[in-house]
């Protein structure tokens, strides 16, 4: 064999290996359908391809003679989506976000990774071909992307001197840049099931993020951050546990009745729903019966022993001499109102005024005093710009709580009082407090007492 041929074979093999390596490093764009199907594969939950296909707008709107064929084609396509969904590859997504620069902080704060945003994937609400009409009908197919290491990706270090050319209002404490495209490269770690369909998620680990500033004018021209991947450190994968259920006023109303050993008047509640109010006169009775049955099912499915999560915005006041914060929302006399009518489907005057007051209940946190004070050393608090300047900071308290009993009805709460106990509190900076509130935020672990 000639040297030329051997050299040609070596060059060809080298090019093939290089192409293979490049292909291996190529991240696959993720879309809403892929996210749904990957979740289904990882979780092992059954996928009702036929049931999904029957709900598709294109199947429901097909002429009767073609409906069976259109449905069969949709089922076959859904099965192909499922077969091609690969949990092992590296994925990439592009999304718009904003960055906030607190002057002199030496970093950019990325809203996408602030911990209070949900990357919701709506497989059957994006494309006409795969559209299921109605938000409630699609809710069972929603899946979320949860970034395990979002805290490691949140802040991008930047030299303050390099930010000076794009800070157009240096007298303001912070500058917000809106036209930022984040290209996030990640791998899928696991599926996180949940009792509530819309809270099921894929837990993903970010590998790198590339930022592109699409701003026009001087900001776009002078943007100092290079459009190259920024590696993101991995984080410990959290232990899988039963997540707290999202609390709402309807759940509070049902929990109160369960703890009191009573049953709501579903027939009376059904008469107030918009479905009954808008139904033709000859169909009102049937619609009212269906609405009452729906409420009955939801009531029976409510778990009085589960842990529930409610988010309360609260001002944290720093008491300098005692070196601790005091959370206003956890004051001993604080009462939360339970207004169930809107969530049950009542509308207009039936959900307001005297009628609303007749169905009003209260919620109390029996052990709130144990969580009202949150210790923090003075030196740590002084590193928080909002606290240093104003002695306070606006926060969101994620309160995990369990129902422990029911109190009697009062004039202010004719239905009664739901007694809850706090299990844990998660503290996050409020977005309404601006980016300065998040600077040097010290609370990373839940408070449990």
**pLDDT, tens only, 12-49:** 333 433 443 444 468 999 999 999 999 999 999 999 99
- pLDDT exceeds 90 at position 248: yes
Per-residue pLDDT at 24: 43
Q: How far apart are CA 167 and CA 227, in angstroms?
A: 19
Q: Answer with the residue of higher pLDDT: 216 or 424.
A: 424
pLDDT digit string, tens, across residues 101-113: 998 899 999 999 9
Helix axis angle, 249-260 to 284-301, nearest 10°:
70
Domain boundaries, the chain: 28-231, 245-438
Per-residue pLDDT at 11: 37
Tell me the mean pLDDT in the region 431-438. 82
Strands 230-231 and 245-246, by their bridges, are unpaired
- Residue 80 tokens read as 């192909």
Per the CB < 8 A criterion, the answer to whether 326 and 373 are in contact is: yes
Per the CB < 8 A criterion, the answer to whether 294 and 310 are in contact is: no
Per the CB < 8 A criterion, the answer to whether 133 and 57 are in contact is: yes
φ/ψ of 417, rounded to 5, equals -125, 125
What is the pLDDT of the chain when averaged over all its residues? 88
CA-CA-CA-CA torsion sign (348, 349, 353, 359): negative
- For residue 148, give the nearest of 99, 192, 87 by alpha carbon: 192
Q: How far apart are CA 24 and CA 34, in angstroms?
A: 19
- pLDDT exceeds 50 at position 379: yes
Per-residue pLDDT at 347: 74
- For residue 268, give the nearest of 297, 303, 296, 243 by alpha carbon: 296
Q: How far apart are CA 398 and CA 311, in angstroms?
A: 5
Q: Answer with the residue of higher pLDDT: 270 or 439.
A: 270
pLDDT digit string, tens, across residues 380-409: 999 999 999 999 999 999 999 999 999 999
Tell me the mean pLDDT in the region 262-281. 92
- pLDDT exceeds 90 at position 63: yes
Per-residue pLDDT at 37: 97
| ∠ Cα 96 97 98 (to 5°) | 140
- pLDDT exceeds 70 at position 5: no
Per the CB < 8 A criterion, the answer to whether 144 and 196 are in contact is: no
Per-residue pLDDT at 240: 56
Percent of all residues in the chain with a pLDDT value above 70, rounded to a whole number: 93
3 state SS of 228: coil
Q: How confident is the model at residue 8 (pLDDT cuts 50, 70, 90)?
A: very low
Q: How far apart are CA 204 and CA 106, in angstroms?
A: 28
- pLDDT exceeds 90 at position 167: no
| ∠ Cα 138 121 89 (to 5°) | 135
3 state SS of 82: helix
- The whole-model pTM stands at 0.64
Alpha helices in 103-192 (DSSP H): 135-139, 150-153, 160-163
Q: How far apart are CA 119 and CA 325, in angstroms?
A: 32
Per-residue pLDDT at 239: 66
Per the CB < 8 A criterion, the answer to whether 40 and 82 are in contact is: yes
- pLDDT exceeds 50 at position 137: yes
Q: How far apart are CA 235 and CA 186, in angstroms?
A: 13
Tell me the mean pLDDT in the region 292-303. 93
| ∠ Cα 155 30 81 (to 5°) | 160
Q: How confident is the model at residue 7 (pLDDT cuts 50, 70, 90)?
A: very low
């Amino acid at each position: 064999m000639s040297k030329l041929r051997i050299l040609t074979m070596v060059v060809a093999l080298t090019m093939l290996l290089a192409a293979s390596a490049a292909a291996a490093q190529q991240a696959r764009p993720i879309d809403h359908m892929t996210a749904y199907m990957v979740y289904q594969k990882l979780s092992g939950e059954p996928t009702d391809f036929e049931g999904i296909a029957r709900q598709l707008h294109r199947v429901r709107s097909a002429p009767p003679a073609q409906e069976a064929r259109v449905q069969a084609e949709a089922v076959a396509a859904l099965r192909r989506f499922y077969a091609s969904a690969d949990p092992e590859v590296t994925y990439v997504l592009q999304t718009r976000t904003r960055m906030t620069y607190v002057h002199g902080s030496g970093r950019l704060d990325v809203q996408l990774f602030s911990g209070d945003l949900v990357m919701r994937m709506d497989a059957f609400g994006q494309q006409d071909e795969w559209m299921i009409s109605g938000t409630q009908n699609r809710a069972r197919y929603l899946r979320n992307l949860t970034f395990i290491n979002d805290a490691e990706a949140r802040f991008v270090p930047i030299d303050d001197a390099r930010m000076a050319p794009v800070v157009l209002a240096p007298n303001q404490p912070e500058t917000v840049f809106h036209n930022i495209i984040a290209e996030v490269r990640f791998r899928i770690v696991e599926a996180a099931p949940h009792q509530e369909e819309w809270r099921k998620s894929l837990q993903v680990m970010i590998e790198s993020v590339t930022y592109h500033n699409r701003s026009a004018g001087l900001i776009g021209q002078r943007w100092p951050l290079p459009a190259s991947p920024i590696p993101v450190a991995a984080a410990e994968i959290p232990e899988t546990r039963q997540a707290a259920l999202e609390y709402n006023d309807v759940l509070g109303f049902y929990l109160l009745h369960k703890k009191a050993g009573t049953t709501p008047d579903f027939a009376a509640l059904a008469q107030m729903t918009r479905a009954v109010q808008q139904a033709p006169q000859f169909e009102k009775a049937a619609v009212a019966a269906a609405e009452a049955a729906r409420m009955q099912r939801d009531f029976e499915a409510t778990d009085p022993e589960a842990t529930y999560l409610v988010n309360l915005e609260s001002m944290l006041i720093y008491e300098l001499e005692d070196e601790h914060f005091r959370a206003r929302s956890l004051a001993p006399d604080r009462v939360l109102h339970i207004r169930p009518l809107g969530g049950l489907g009542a509308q207009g005057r039936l959900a307001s005024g005297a009628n609303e007051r007749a169905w009003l209940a209260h919620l109390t946190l029996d052990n709130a005093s144990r969580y009202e004070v949150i210790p923090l050393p003075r030196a740590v608090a002084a590193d928080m710009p909002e606290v240093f300047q104003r002695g306070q900071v606006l926060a969101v308290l994620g309160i995990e709580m369990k129902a422990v009993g029911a109190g009697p009805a009062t004039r202010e709460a004719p239905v009664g009082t739901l007694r809850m106990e706090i299990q844990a509190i998660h503290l996050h900076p409020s977005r309404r407090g601006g980016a300065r509130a998040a600077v040097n935020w010290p609370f990373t672990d839940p408070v449990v007492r």
